[in-house]
Amino acid sequence: MRAGRILAKHKMAKHYDLTVDQGLISWSRRTDRIEAEAATDGIYVVRTSLPPHAANGISAGQTVGVYKSLAEVEADFRSWKATDLLLRPIYHWTEPRVRAHILLCLLAGYLTWLQRRALAPITFTDTDRTRPYDRADPVATATPSPAARAKAVTKQTPDQQPVYSYQSLLAHLATLTRNTCTSPAPPTKPSSTSSPNLPPPNDTPSNSSASNTPHYDCCRQKPTRPAPPTRP
């Protein structure tokens, strides 16, 4: 029984005939099943619900290409969770909150996709890459375009600008600021009516009002001390 559990654990029981008797264990290989599985080893089948001969039907190569393009969707989810947005797991139980959370994730993912697309010319992103469903052989290994190879070798764009990875470019942009400098407006001379409690600039304070308390000169806008009183 232990040998049967080991074979079932490694999914090899279908390839062997096992006989267990009193004091005897015998086994033999099922050659026909082994050869049948080896003939399809490494092969997978992609099935679509579209009819093969309908007007909106697609070919076998396009079907495989669309299936392989799921890697882009997986890359978007990886961008949301770990690479760009770092969205932590948030658990909701009510339907409005679940809908709101999904809407925010989709909006954030769409903005990230737009930003990656806008910054693609100055990053190592292959802007001339052929889609899997547009290739002549969708199963063949994807190869980078000549433009992507040139950027990878020279580390520069065609106009001699440096090329960044997306993450390093974001780190570089985070250090830049935009400052707007404007010249201050010239100071305006206040009118006498605006400060009725202040004496005119040329007035001399009387002996009764002379003190050590400074007051503001309306013309110079700085504190001045009154002249000391004269002795009689």
pLDDT in tens, 112-129: 889 888 998 899 888 877
Distance CA 87, CA 104 (A): 11
Q: Where are the domains of the chain?
A: 2-39, 68-173
* Confidence label for 219 from pLDDT (cuts 50, 70 and 90): very low
pLDDT in tens, 47-106: 888 776 655 667 777 788 888 888 878 887 887 777 777 776 778 889 898 888 888 888
pLDDT in tens, 131-174: 666 777 777 777 888 888 888 899 998 888 899 988 888 888 88
- Provide the pLDDT for residue 11: 75
- Written as six digits, the tokens of 60 are 């076998």
| 82 φ, ψ (degrees, to nearest 5) | -125, -30
pTM reported for the whole predicted model? 0.50
- Provide the pLDDT for residue 103: 87
